[in-house]
A = this chain, B = another copy of it.
Amino acid sequence: MKLSTRGEYGLRAMFDLAQHFGEGPIALRSIAERQDISENYLEQLIASLRRSGLVDSFRGAQGGYTLARAPDNIRIGDIIRVLEGPIAPTDCVSERDAELCDRANTCVARLVWEKLRDSIVEVLDSYTLQDMCNEFQELNKETTN
C-alpha cells in the first residue's frame, strides 16, 4: 500500500511547475535541484507526464516544461494515474481493466477492496495542484508570523 518514488517525485515536480505557472518554460534541472530529485530519473517521469498531456515541453535553449492546464484543472489523481497506473488496491478492483479471478462472484474481500479504492479515488480526485498552492501559502503565512 505504498506509492513508489515515481508518484512521490512526480507530484513534487508538478507542484513545482504549478508554483511557477505563467512564468514560461521551467528547466528540468531547476526542478530537480529545488525538489532534490535525480535529474536523469526525473526526466523519465516528466516524459510520462508529457506523453499523457499533463505538461507541455519546449526544446532548445531556454526551453523547459510548463503545466499543460491551469493548476486548478489538474487533480492529484491525474498525476498519480500517469505515474503509478490505474488506482487499484488489487488487480480485481482496478479502475481500468479489472482482472476478475474465478472466485470473483462470491469473493467478499473484493467488496472491501472496492470500498478502499473508491475512498482513495475520492481523495486524489478532489484535490488539485491549485489546492496545494493554496496550502503552501497558508503554511508560509503561519511561519512568518
Contacts and interface: CB of A to CB of B under 8 A. Distances in A.
Interface string A116-145: 100110111001000011011001100100
**Copies of this chain present:** 2
A91 B115 CA distance: 23
A90 interface: yes
Contacts of A36: 102-103
B112 A11 contact: yes
Classify the secondary structure of A's interface with B.
Answer: helix
Interface of A: 1-3, 7-8, 11-12, 15, 36, 76, 80, 84, 87-91, 102-103, 105-109, 111-113, 115-116, 119-120, 122-124, 127, 132-133, 135-136, 139-140, 143
